[in-house]
Chain A
Amino acid sequence: MSLRGGCQKLITASRSVTRAMAGVTGLLTIVMMLGVVLDASLRGTVGIAVWGVLELCTLLLLAMIYFGLPSTQSERENFRVSIITDLMPMKLNLFVSGILLLLQIVVLGLLCWFTWRAAIFSFNRDEVSIGLVEISLWPHRFMIAMGLSVLTFQSVISGLDLLLNGKHPFAPDQAIELAQTVRQQTL
Chain B
Amino acid sequence: MSPAEHGFWLVSGLFVLLALGLPIAASLLTCGLVGILAVQGWGAADYLLGTLPYSVSAEFAFIVIPLFLFMGHMAFSAGISEKGFRAATVWLGHIPGGLAISAIVACAAFATVSGSSIATAATISRVAIPELLKAGYSKSLAGACVATGGTLGVLIPPSTIMVLYSIATETPIPELFMAGIIPGILTVLIYGLGIYVMVKRDPKMRTITVHARTGFQERLRATFMSWEILLLFGIVMGTLYTGMATATEAAGFGALAALLIAISRGTSWNEIKEGLRTSGSSTAAIFFLIIGAGVFSAALATTQIPQSLSAWVGTLNLHPTVLIICLLIPFLILGCFVDAASMVLLTMPVVFPIVKQAGIDPVLFGILVVKMTEIGNITPPVGLNVFVVATTNPVLTIREIFRGITPFFFMELLVVALLIAFPSITLIAVR
Interfacial residues, chain A to chain B (CB-CB below 8 A): 19, 22-23, 25-30, 32-34, 36-37, 39-40, 44, 54, 57-58, 61-62, 64-66, 68-69, 71-72, 75, 77-85, 93, 96-97, 100, 103-104, 107-108, 110-111, 114-115, 117-118, 121, 137, 140-141, 144, 148, 170-171, 178, 181-182, 185-186
Contacts and interface: CB of A to CB of B under 8 A. Distances in A.
Interface string B386-422: 0100010000011100000000000000000000000
A115 B48 CA distance: 10
Given A72-B284, A100-B22, 12 more contacts: A26-B281, A32-B66, A37-B252, A39-B249, A40-B249, A78-B285, A79-B25, A81-B382, A111-B53, A118-B54, A140-B54, A186-B399
Interface stretch (B177-185, B333-341, B353-361, B362-370): B333-341
Contact of A115 (B29, B50, B245, B275): B50
A81 B276 contact: no
B249 A26 contact: no
A149 B273 CA distance: 26
Interface size class of B (residues with CB under 8 A): 35 or more
Interface in B267-309: 273, 275-285, 287-289
Nearest to A73: B23
Contact of B283 (A64, A148, A182): A64
Interface in B72-96: none
Main SS of the interface on chain A? helix
Main SS of the interface on chain B? helix
What are the 3 tightest A-B residue pairs by CB atom distance, in nearest-first order?
Answer: A118-B50, A68-B284, A36-B252
A58 B283 contact: no
B60 A103 contact: no
Nearest to B402: A186
Interface string B15-26: 001111111111
B70 interface: yes
29 contacts: A22-B277, A25-B280, A26-B275, A36-B63, A36-B248, A58-B63, A61-B58, A61-B66, A64-B283, A65-B283, A65-B288, A68-B284, A69-B287, A71-B280, A72-B285, A77-B285, A78-B285, A78-B288, A79-B25, A81-B24, A83-B337, A103-B30, A104-B30, A115-B49, A118-B51, A170-B22, A181-B398, A186-B381, A186-B398
Given A72-B288, A81-B337, A114-B49, A104 B382 contact: no
Nearest to A28: B280
B67 interface: yes
A182 B381 CA distance: 9
A14 to B, nearest CB: 16
Interface in B213-271: 244-245, 248-249, 251-253, 255-256, 259
Contacts of A37: 249, 252-253, 256
Given A79-B25, A85-B20, A111 B273 contact: no
Interface in B27-46: 29-30, 33, 45-46
B281 A57 contact: no
Contacts of A107: 26, 29-30, 33
A107 B33 CA distance: 8
Interface of B: 17-26, 29-30, 33, 45-46, 49-51, 53-54, 57-60, 62-63, 66-67, 70, 244-245, 248-249, 251-253, 255-256, 259, 273, 275-285, 287-289, 337-339, 341-342, 380-382, 387, 391, 397-399
A88 B338 CA distance: 18
Taking each of B46, B54, B275, B397, which has the highest tally of chain A beta carbons within 10 Å of its own beta carbon? B54
Given A22-B277, A78-B24, A32 B63 contact: yes
Contacts of A29: 66-67, 70, 255, 276, 279-280
Contacts of B337: 81, 83
Contact of A100 (B20, B24, B60): B20
Contacts of A85: 20-21
A81 B398 CA distance: 19
Contacts of B19: 81, 83-84
